[in-house]
A and B are shown apart, each in its own frame.
Chain A
């Protein structure tokens, strides 16, 4: 019999009074395999992995690691058992060097309990060698791109001798190239005998990198499959529980009037370095302009400038012919919803009110109209299928996908002609992502001008009319979305090609 690295048996975890996040879930992971754990947002993947990592304790069920019955009460105990987890949000100290981050909390000490940095470095170096990973150990962590920061997280686990690695949505924040790089590392880890559990909802990734798949839906296992013997259609049916609905594609919408007009735009980033350099474009009513680019090429600064959040050094941004001011209302779905799009301590109603507290429908001369806000929220909860259906719940209790729906619902219902969106489906499952796409296309049909920044090229190709590729603060090229492909965009993104 093959040794099971992880055997979770009949795991049940109930939150609140009767919400079963996991309902007698079984998970069997063989040693040395890459096992994908897939499912919608809120299907119970994270709960299951948090149980394995000792963050939650299951109400029922048993866990066996390498054949031994265990009871895991904290991440520290999980680490002792050789289990490590890379979270979606990295836990790194940005001012420390790569090496310091890797050894932090588990330093090799010498005389008088001082850190023996030389021996630490040796140990890390030998890990780098055996897994064929290259990274500059002395670089300041905060200056590194996301993909590299993720490598540091993985190295932290290897440094602590983890044999079972859990990765929670590792590709959500990566560029296509970084994703390839990650998969290469994962295969390398597998070759060295590490066991990997990959939480994801991108089917392409599952099919590309995993050996086995366990599918969860609403807290229950709906399928355990060998990757080689399954396909996209079967997996999506198991995940969604209904036939996968093909996305409506974008219809032509030519000859409309110009809504957003940006000319000669120059914007600086936090370090006063020119981030957007002489960018000009127009978006007409009903048009979606996609912006592709490797993260850090000025997309964030561009979208912040359009939303009036960043000072313009020179050039102009006009909406319907009028220069924007700080008070110009623009619908904006920010890339980082936790930091910029919502207030964790607020209820759903209060989050729907964010930035709209001045609108006459929500506020009288003196007081907020609480009833109007609540019933407006209730309608959006219905329309956007936000769960739980309770406007008084704190948003922090919602799954990522539902939080994003709240942000989208608020922004899409604003009275404005321009919608600026960053990574609208980041961290969302297929169903929620499709929903957001449909909503965007719907708004576009209503004649709104949409600026879409994304690192998901498939998403850009599906939604955009034109795609501008940003490289080094400039538009390297503007392509017709119907006449291009991921490969061509990728070449412009990396500066391989120049127009």
Chain B
């Protein structure tokens, strides 16, 4: 018997799940009295059929790439980061604060500063969860969930009481020097969409994660920790320190996710900006099997669903798309288990 290709098997789960969930979604659409074919055609043509739609999709995908990376990086160290939402929120606020505080700096300093601030704030926030795990053994899932609530409360307090702009739920605007330009202004493509340079930062982060994990001694240690913490300890690795670092870097990736909205789109921090990107990131990492490049593809797919949900709003309620997302995730978990068995068989 000819052995199926390993990569085909890897991709098979997600692909079958997506097709199957589109079928189920189609049934739902039919149930509420709409023509599924028509809805899907509209959904895909308005998202992928013109550059404006593509720009919108990529704009929606940008934070998902970064939160997906965040969850995936922690996963590689054997840690489950549920806290990307909180890390994203804190990071986004830090980028905004830097942008509206150091208004006199030129762009060449201010933009890197905003990027660094976002990364460090997210890293610090996740680092707390990592430290609690390393020092006291408290589980990172609990730690990160609790820190999500705290992050939201802290930022909400700051926006409403310290850096408030009356009658709004957002901060003052950042300096024009802190703005990450929109692609339509640079290239003329994607006209009208808020798709901006932070997408490039997200791609750079993907490459960074790939190199770190695959090529560096540090990444090797992270992987070892994830595969076999006992062996890591016996090999002389400081697994407590590694746990903190792994969480911090994961948090840093999530913290960069705020640049898209703050520096690229609205130019201020606004409460509720994230639209659950931190949580969707968990699904993105899961489906992409923690592969940094697959994360981009999956994030784009979720971008299609998110923006597509808006475009078909006149035909079906946008909850349909949310339901579709949920079904896809459940199916993928199911099929992944199924195909993992096949992959194991192929390996032996």
| Chain A residues engaging chain B, CB cutoff 8 angstroms | 15-16, 307-309, 326-327, 329, 332, 334, 339-346, 350, 353-355, 357-358, 362-363, 366-368, 370, 394, 397
Please give the distance in Å from A131's CB to the nearest CB on chain B: 37
Expressed in whole angstroms, the Cα–Cα distance for A367 and B224 within the complex equals: 16
User: What residues of chain B lie closer than 8 Å to A357, measured between beta carbons?
Assistant: 217, 220-221
Chain A residue at minimum C-beta to C-beta distance from B226: A345
The answer to whether B228 touches A363 (Cβ under 8 A) is no
The answer to whether A339 touches B231 (Cβ under 8 A) is yes
Please give the distance in Å from A324's CB to the nearest CB on chain B: 11
The answer to whether A367 touches B227 (Cβ under 8 A) is no
Please give the distance in Å from A14's CB to the nearest CB on chain B: 12
The answer to whether B224 touches A15 (Cβ under 8 A) is no
The answer to whether A334 touches B234 (Cβ under 8 A) is yes
User: What residues of chain B lie closer than 8 Å to A397, measured between beta carbons?
Assistant: 347-348
Chain B residue at minimum C-beta to C-beta distance from A346: B227
Expressed in whole angstroms, the Cα–Cα distance for A370 and B220 within the complex equals: 12
Q: Beyond A16-B348, A368-B217, list 13 extra A-B contacts (CB 8 Å).
A: A307-B234, A309-B233, A326-B236, A329-B236, A340-B230, A340-B234, A342-B231, A354-B224, A354-B231, A362-B217, A368-B216, A370-B215, A397-B347
Please give the distance in Å from A6's CB to the nearest CB on chain B: 25
Chain A residue at minimum C-beta to C-beta distance from B237: A355
Q: Does residue B238 face the partner (Cβ distance < 8 Å to A)?
A: yes
User: What residues of chain A lie closer than 8 Å to B227, measured between beta carbons?
Assistant: 343-346
The answer to whether B237 touches A366 (Cβ under 8 A) is no
From known contacts A343-B228, A346-B227, A394-B347, infer whether A358 and B217 are also in contact, taking CB-CB under 8 Å: yes
Q: Does residue B8 face the partner (Cβ distance < 8 Å to A)?
A: no
Q: Does residue B1 face the partner (Cβ distance < 8 Å to A)?
A: no
Query: 28 A-B residue contacts at CB 8 Å?
Result: A16-B348, A309-B234, A326-B236, A326-B238, A327-B236, A332-B234, A334-B234, A340-B231, A340-B233, A341-B231, A341-B234, A343-B231, A344-B227, A345-B228, A346-B224, A353-B220, A354-B231, A355-B236, A357-B217, A357-B220, A358-B217, A363-B217, A367-B211, A367-B216, A368-B215, A368-B216, A394-B347, A397-B348
User: What residues of chain A lie closer than 8 Å to B211, measured between beta carbons?
Assistant: 367
Expressed in whole angstroms, the Cα–Cα distance for A363 and B217 within the complex equals: 7
Question: CB < 8 Å: which of B215, B235, B347 contacts A355?
Answer: B235
Expressed in whole angstroms, the Cα–Cα distance for A266 and B189 within the complex equals: 71
Please give the distance in Å from A483's CB to the nearest CB on chain B: 35
Please give the distance in Å from B238's CB to the nearest CB on chain A: 7
The answer to whether B220 touches A344 (Cβ under 8 A) is no
User: What residues of chain B lie closer than 8 Å to A367, measured between beta carbons?
Assistant: 211, 215-216
Expressed in whole angstroms, the Cα–Cα distance for A357 and B215 within the complex equals: 11
User: What residues of chain A lie closer than 8 Å to B228, measured between beta carbons?
Assistant: 339, 342-345
Chain A residue at minimum C-beta to C-beta distance from B211: A367
User: What residues of chain B lie closer than 8 Å to A341, measured between beta carbons?
Assistant: 231, 234
Please give the distance in Å from A398's CB to the nearest CB on chain B: 12
Chain B residue at minimum C-beta to C-beta distance from A336: B230
User: What residues of chain A lie closer than 8 Å to B220, measured between beta carbons?
Assistant: 350, 353, 357, 368
Please give the distance in Å from A469's CB to the nearest CB on chain B: 26
Please give the distance in Å from B303's CB to the nearest CB on chain A: 32
Interface string of B227-247 (1 = CB under 8 A from A): 110110111111000000000
Expressed in whole angstroms, the Cα–Cα distance for A350 and B226 within the complex equals: 14
Most chain A CB atoms below 10 A, which of B215, B236, B348: B236
Expressed in whole angstroms, the Cα–Cα distance for A148 and B217 within the complex equals: 43
Chain B residue at minimum C-beta to C-beta distance from A327: B236
Expressed in whole angstroms, the Cα–Cα distance for A354 and B211 within the complex equals: 19
Expressed in whole angstroms, the Cα–Cα distance for A179 and B15 within the complex equals: 54
Please give the distance in Å from A95's CB to the nearest CB on chain B: 19
User: What residues of chain A lie closer than 8 Å to B234, measured between beta carbons?
Assistant: 307, 309, 332, 334, 340-341, 355
The answer to whether A308 touches B231 (Cβ under 8 A) is no
Please give the distance in Å from A357's CB to the nearest CB on chain B: 4
Pairs of residues from A and B, 3 with the lowest C-beta to C-beta distance, nearest first: A355-B235, A357-B217, A340-B234
Question: CB < 8 Å: which of A16, A344, A345, A354 contacts B235?
Answer: A354
Interface string of B58-71 (1 = CB under 8 A from A): 00000000000000
Chain A residue at minimum C-beta to C-beta distance from B224: A343
User: What residues of chain A lie closer than 8 Å to B231, measured between beta carbons?
Assistant: 339-343, 354
User: What residues of chain B lie closer than 8 Å to A353, measured between beta carbons?
Assistant: 220
Please give the distance in Å from B239's CB to the nearest CB on chain A: 11
Expressed in whole angstroms, the Cα–Cα distance for A355 and B238 within the complex equals: 11
Expressed in whole angstroms, the Cα–Cα distance for A327 and B231 within the complex equals: 16
Please give the distance in Å from B248's CB to the nearest CB on chain A: 19
Expressed in whole angstroms, the Cα–Cα distance for A370 and B211 within the complex equals: 13
User: What residues of chain B lie closer than 8 Å to A340, measured between beta carbons?
Assistant: 230-231, 233-234
Q: For window 301-348 of chain B, which residues contact chain A by CB distance below 8 Å?
A: 347-348
Chain A residue at minimum C-beta to C-beta distance from B236: A355
Expressed in whole angstroms, the Cα–Cα distance for A353 and B236 within the complex equals: 12
Chain A residue at minimum C-beta to C-beta distance from B347: A394
User: What residues of chain B lie closer than 8 Å to A326, measured between beta carbons?
Assistant: 236, 238
Interface string of B194-226 (1 = CB under 8 A from A): 000000000000000001000111001100100
Chain B residue at minimum C-beta to C-beta distance from A362: B217
Please give the distance in Å from A304's CB to the nearest CB on chain B: 9
User: What residues of chain B lie closer than 8 Å to A394, measured between beta carbons?
Assistant: 347
User: What residues of chain A lie closer than 8 Å to B221, measured between beta carbons?
Assistant: 357
Expressed in whole angstroms, the Cα–Cα distance for A325 and B211 within the complex equals: 31
Expressed in whole angstroms, the Cα–Cα distance for A15 and B220 within the complex equals: 30
Expressed in whole angstroms, the Cα–Cα distance for A368 and B220 within the complex equals: 9
Expressed in whole angstroms, the Cα–Cα distance for A190 and B204 within the complex equals: 68
Expressed in whole angstroms, the Cα–Cα distance for A339 and B227 within the complex equals: 11
Expressed in whole angstroms, the Cα–Cα distance for A358 and B234 within the complex equals: 15
User: What residues of chain B lie closer than 8 Å to A309, measured between beta carbons?
Assistant: 233-234
Expressed in whole angstroms, the Cα–Cα distance for A326 and B238 within the complex equals: 8
Expressed in whole angstroms, the Cα–Cα distance for A353 and B235 within the complex equals: 10
Most chain A CB atoms below 10 A, which of B216, B224, B235: B235
User: What residues of chain A lie closer than 8 Å to B347, measured between beta carbons?
Assistant: 394, 397
Most chain A CB atoms below 10 A, which of B228, B233, B238, B348: B228
Chain B residue at minimum C-beta to C-beta distance from A357: B217
Expressed in whole angstroms, the Cα–Cα distance for A329 and B235 within the complex equals: 9
Please give the distance in Å from A428's CB to the nearest CB on chain B: 20
Expressed in whole angstroms, the Cα–Cα distance for A363 and B216 within the complex equals: 8
Expressed in whole angstroms, the Cα–Cα distance for A363 and B215 within the complex equals: 10
Expressed in whole angstroms, the Cα–Cα distance for A16 and B347 within the complex equals: 9
